């Protein structure tokens, strides 16, 4: 390999490494946002509720940076095989991470409008759902950074449990509203929060699917496990 070719390969590897670093940074920020959003709800933590939205501009900026770099790599480097899959997947994964950050921000902001001081409504279901969503997101980000298809598959399979918790919460909150109309406002907020957590779970599953594809070249089934 001549000096010019060696320099080109080194520069290409550096840019790939830069893209991976951006994604890892995004993943860490979004994981923090989600943890803060859940704490804002289940622990009534106003500091966490204020902190989650503050990270959103950083997440958005990193998504734009990843998009520019990915397009540059596709246009100028003509990647092939696994590199091509990784770059294409990166474009989609960063979009999923950005949306997760948006949902976490929405949860945190809505928590400030909740008044649970004298409410008898249980948050145990929301706490369990938040814990599971956080765990799946952490594992998806770990799979992303290590390009681990087995861990990605485990996350993909866990989506069913998130959906089941959401459906149980939906029924429970509707029951609270039917029993006492004074619960309607609080339960409506909680329903939106639960739905946002469910959507975070969906985007986490998307990330797992992209990671599996980038690592193996194969697609997981179109339908998520139900």
Q: What tens digit of pLDDT does each residue of 44-68 get?
A: 899 999 999 999 999 999 999 999 9
So what's the pLDDT on residue 222?
A: 63
Beta strands in 9-133 (DSSP E): none
The ranges assigned to domains in the chain are 2-216
Residue-wise pLDDT tens digits, 65-101: 999 999 999 988 888 888 899 999 999 999 999 999 9
Residues of the chain with pLDDT under 50: 2-7, 225-226
Report whether CATH 1.10.3470.10 matches the domain 2-216. no
Tell which residue, 97, 103, 94, has the closest CA to residue 195.
103
Give the whole-angstrom CA distance, residue 173 versus residue 66.
Answer: 40
- The pTM score is 0.91
| Alpha carbon separation from 126 to 26, 87, 122, 149, 182 (Å, rounded) | 25, 35, 8, 29, 20
């Amino acid at each position: 390999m001549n000096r010019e070719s060696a320099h080109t390969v080194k520069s290409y590897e550096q840019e790939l490494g830069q893209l991976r670093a951006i994604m890892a940074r995004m993943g860490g920020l979004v994981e923090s946002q989600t943890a803060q959003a859940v704490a804002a709800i289940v622990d009534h933590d106003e500091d966490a509720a204020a902190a989650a939205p503050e990270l959103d501009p950083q997440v958005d900026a990193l998504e734009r940076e990843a998009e520019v770099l990915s397009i540059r790599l596709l246009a100028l480097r003509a990647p092939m095989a696994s590199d091509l899959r990784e770059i294409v997947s990166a474009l989609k994964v960063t979009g999923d991470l950005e949306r997760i950050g948006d949902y976490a921000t929405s949860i945190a902001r809505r928590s400030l409008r909740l008044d649970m001081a004298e409410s008898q409504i249980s948050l145990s279901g929301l706490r369990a759902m938040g814990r599971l969503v956080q765990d799946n997101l952490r594992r998806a980000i770990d799979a992303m950074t290590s390009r681990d298809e087995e861990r990605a598959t485990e996350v993909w399979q866990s989506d069913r449990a998130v959906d089941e918790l959401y459906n149980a919460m939906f029924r429970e909150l509707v029951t609270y509203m039917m029993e006492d109309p004074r619960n309607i406002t609080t339960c409506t907020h909680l329903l939106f929060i639960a739905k946002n957590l469910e959507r975070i779970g969906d985007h986490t599953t998307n990330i797992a699917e992209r990671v599996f594809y980038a690592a193996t070249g194969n697609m997981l089934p179109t339908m998520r496990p139900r």
